[in-house]
Amino acid sequence: MSIISTREGVLAVSALSAGRISPGSPQQRDALLSRATHGKGCAAVLMIITWASILSVGQAQEITVQNETSAPVRITSGEIAALPHQKVSVDDHGKTIVFEGVPLRLVLEKAGVTFGEDLRGKRLSTCLLVEAADGYKVVFALPELDPAFTDRVILLADRADGHELDKQAGPFRIVVPGEKRMARCARQVIALKVVQVQ
């Protein structure tokens, strides 16, 4: 076993834990893998497992919400789990799936976005831009999320058929009940941005 490479591996993991290397970044991946591959036996395996575990946790940590007037707000998966959840049944390519999640409006309100009587005049041209990890983007007009305008509830889902969303869909997915196509049901949602249409 290489003492130098093992020591470097421990330092790399320590740097990751301290936030000096962000989970999922090329810097983190290269740092940990280069140190792991120079080690031998158990040390190398342990470092790879540690890297995979931290990466998995990092992917599920938070979602960024940018409202109209202030700095972005980061909302953790724990905070979202604590919000009131609802269930909706959706036909996904001929298969009925029961999604559970938080009304998207509640997530936005937690970041300071206002609805109800405040949603009038120029704000009626305000939209929500949803961004996914792979760069996919979809848009909703804010009135589509407001119960004063519609009875339909659009969800930020974190569960499907009683289980957490898998890595292909989660940790968060948009679910739009009643739409004929699921093109706006973005997967792997990482950011919600409120934008004004000019």
Residue-level pLDDT, tens digit, the chain, 198 residues: 333 344 444 444 444 443 444 444 444 445 544 554 454 444 444 444 344 443 443 444 699 999 887 789 999 999 999 999 999 999 888 889 999 999 999 999 999 999 999 999 989 999 999 999 999 999 999 999 999 999 999 999 999 999 999 988 999 999 999 998 999 999 999 999 999 887
pLDDT at 195: 93
**CATH code for the structural domain at 62-196:** 3.90.420.10
pLDDT at 27: 47
CA dist 115 to 48, 109, 145, 147, 148, Å? 46, 8, 9, 9, 8
CA separation for the pair 114, 140 (Å, rounded)? 15
Q: Residue with structure tokens 């938070």?
A: 62
Q: Give the 3-state secondary structure of residue 179.
A: coil
Name 95's bridge partners: 92
Angle at 188 (CA atoms; ends 61, 109), nearest 5 degrees: 65
Domain boundaries, the chain: 3-59, 62-196
User: Which helix (DSSP H) or strand (DSSP E) does residue 6 occupy?
Assistant: helix 3-17
CA dist 55 to 26, 29, 45, Å? 11, 9, 15
CA separation for the pair 63, 178 (Å, rounded)? 25
Q: Residue with structure tokens 């409202």?
A: 67
CA separation for the pair 84, 103 (Å, rounded)? 8
The answer to whether residues 158 and 61 touch, using CB atoms and an 8 Å cutoff, is: no
Tell me whether the omega of the peptide bond preceding residue 171 falls within 30 degrees of 0, making it cis: yes
CA separation for the pair 30, 173 (Å, rounded)? 29
